[in-house]
A and B are shown apart, each in its own frame.
Chain A
Amino acid sequence: MILTSKSPTVPNGVNRRRIVKKLSALLPFLALAVLLLCTAFPEFLAPKDPYAQSLIRRLKPPSFLPGGISGYILGTDQLGRDILSRIIFGARVTIITSVLAVCVAAVVGTTAGLVAGYFRGRVDSAVVRAIDVQLAFPVVLLVIAIVAVIGPSLSNLIIVMGLSAWPQFARITRGAVISVRDLEYIEAARSIGAGHMRIMFRHILRNILSSIIVYATFEMARMMLVEATLSFLGLGVQPPTPTWGGMISDGSKYLGLSWSVSFFPGLVIVLAVLLVNDLGDRLRDFMDPYLKND
């Protein structure tokens, strides 16, 4: 930054712009902190009990609008529960399922893609066929079938969601590996006696990780929506446990009476997806040695 060295002499406007820029750079981290706090300690942050029902105050608008009740900042849902409290409690389930599902998908997919792209030959053909088969299945249908068999528990949900997303990871990884595996530094690694595992994980993976991370952030956003879809179908996390997707699908039946039941969880999903994407970009830049020292 050229500006840093002569900040005392620059006009106020420039300084203010710098402060705004710095704050906006901090914003995602602030949002992340809030999100993590909600995930970790919803009991302390939520103003009301998210399970407390009251038919008298059902479908109330937010408190700052006419008709709202003070204390219920974002209004109430069809059973009179506080929406803000349910969003805060829903963060835990939504974040945990989507993060873990992406982790499952990334680990399975990246490993498969790495092995396929590195060894080529028959292993590669097998993995590519498996990807094709998996992609040919409609994900929702598959999930319905699996959940119907093994039951809709949280861990089952995570595994099923994760397994439905592995092919994209495998494809991206495989393509990246193929573009890297014949470079001279991989040959150099072999010449100094590095084994397959070391070459795959320390040399190749390290060089293609950024594209996987960027994809993982997109995928995390998608997982929140998949979870919402499954909750909508009644296959996700079972009520009364609040999830963001479940809240949207609950509210969709009452959209004519009250927009706020679906709107606020939807807004939170949008913000969370934006946040995750932004963090993914930052992480990629942070890991790139070319950008590190600028």
Chain B
Amino acid sequence: MNAPLMEVIDIKKHFPANSSFLSGEKSLVRAVDGVSFTINRGETLALVGESGCGKSTTARLALRLQNITSGTIKFEGMDITSSNARALHDVRRRMQIIFQDPFASLNPRMKVGEILEEPLVIYGVGDASERKARVAALMNQVGLADYHAKRYPHEFSGGQRQRIGIARALALNPSLIVCDEPVSALDVSIQAQITNLLKDLQSSLSLSYLFISHDLSVVRYMADRVAVMYLGRIVETAPKEALFADPRHPYTRTLLAAVPQPDPRRKPDRLAPMGDPPSPINPPSGCHFHPRCRFATDRCRVEAPALVPAGDGRLVACHRADEDLEWSPVSQGSDMSPAAARRLSICAKMRAQQEVARQHEQNNEATGG
């Protein structure tokens, strides 16, 4: 089948914000402002962006957990944008969600067995003994033991709870699972377990994931394609390798530069955007990113760039995506005293020598060993 599993076309979600006390004017929060993407079967599409950019809202809109303001959502070729409750009920078993906070997403008053059995009960799957067997199978699938079914969620650790959440999402054999920051509330060691579990499940059950995260190292591990969101819009979509190797949008570039590297000698990139993200109630004119972009031109301030193809299955929303921009860090020399500059240059020279020496050493070791 070549048709995409899910197709989202220009969806928008506007929330009414507090109206002004005097004038009674109502303002709108444009949480999601014209987002389009497709997810193919067996694929992982990652949705990244800083907090508050509308990632989670987009995911909930795609699942129709919230109603959209405008746009179209197609799932398995069917338009579910305005499906009624009954039609949605049938679709919903094919698309599930894993939540960020494993402590809030499980009903504290229900035993794990009940939590996992509930979707089966709702969809009338099997009789009581069949459901019990299915629950046991699900628990084994996510690495929990049978006897855990009789316990309450609060008796489990964060990682185990997230496994319960995953098992619940798997209960109805979905084809698409939205993972809403599934590992960001977990310890790093547990993150690895859960991402591996998700990967294993994907290959054994041929699942598609919409993987939402702000953690680019996790995304790099999980995703096939990556969509970068900024202030309710997608600014760049590309296959993972292309995006990480050659980001075209200045915001993507900034995000990648912000990934912490476990190397204390590495010079931090001076690509941090200026200021805080603007409010989605009153977004900047033109390109939403222009007030924080080093390459903004007059055109950027006026005209909002469209998401256009840029080769290799890449889409970019930037007026200057085709230009070769000067990405290297801004020189700091201008406001430095000559003495300081001299010292720094000596320092740099020494470091370069050390580097050469070290590489030499490593080469020797490599040949010697």
B122-A192 in contact (CB<8A): yes
B105-A188 in contact (CB<8A): yes
Closest to B63 in A: A191
B154-A192 in contact (CB<8A): no
Write the nearest CB–CB distance from B351 to chain A, whole angstroms.
49
Interface residues on B, range: 20 to 34
Interface residues in A279-294 by Cβ distance below 8 A to B read 289-290, 292-293
Please judge, given known A-B contacts A187-B65, A289-B154, A290-B154, whether A192 and B109 are in contact too, CB under 8 Å. no
A192-B172 in contact (CB<8A): yes
Does A198 count as interface, using CB distance less than 8 angstroms? yes
Interface residues in A207-237 by Cβ distance below 8 A to B read 207
How many Å lie between the Cα of A286 and that of B133 in the bound state?
A: 29
B99-A187 in contact (CB<8A): yes
A194-B118 in contact (CB<8A): yes
> Which residues of the partner chain A approach B340 to less than 8 Å between Cβ atoms?
none
Interface residues in A130-175 by Cβ distance below 8 A to B read none
Total interface residues on A, using CB and 8 Å? 20
A183-B122 in contact (CB<8A): no
B97-A191 in contact (CB<8A): yes
B89-A193 in contact (CB<8A): yes
Write the nearest CB–CB distance from B306 to chain A, whole angstroms.
33
How many Å lie between the Cα of A183 and that of B99 in the bound state?
A: 11
A207-B109 in contact (CB<8A): yes
Interface residues in B55-88 by Cβ distance below 8 A to A read 60, 63, 65, 85
Does A18 count as interface, using CB distance less than 8 angstroms? no
How many Å lie between the Cα of A192 and that of B93 in the bound state?
A: 7
A192-B107 in contact (CB<8A): no
Top-3 shortest CB links A-B:
A192-B119, A184-B105, A184-B104
What is the interface of chain B, defined by CB distance below 8 A to chain A? Answer: 60, 63, 65, 85, 89, 92-93, 96-97, 99-101, 104-110, 118-119, 122-123, 152, 154-155, 165, 168, 171-172
- CB<8 Å pairs between A and B, sample of 22: A183-B104, A184-B101, A184-B104, A185-B105, A185-B107, A187-B65, A187-B105, A188-B165, A191-B65, A192-B92, A192-B96, A193-B89, A193-B122, A193-B172, A194-B118, A195-B85, A195-B122, A289-B152, A289-B154, A290-B108, A292-B152, A293-B155
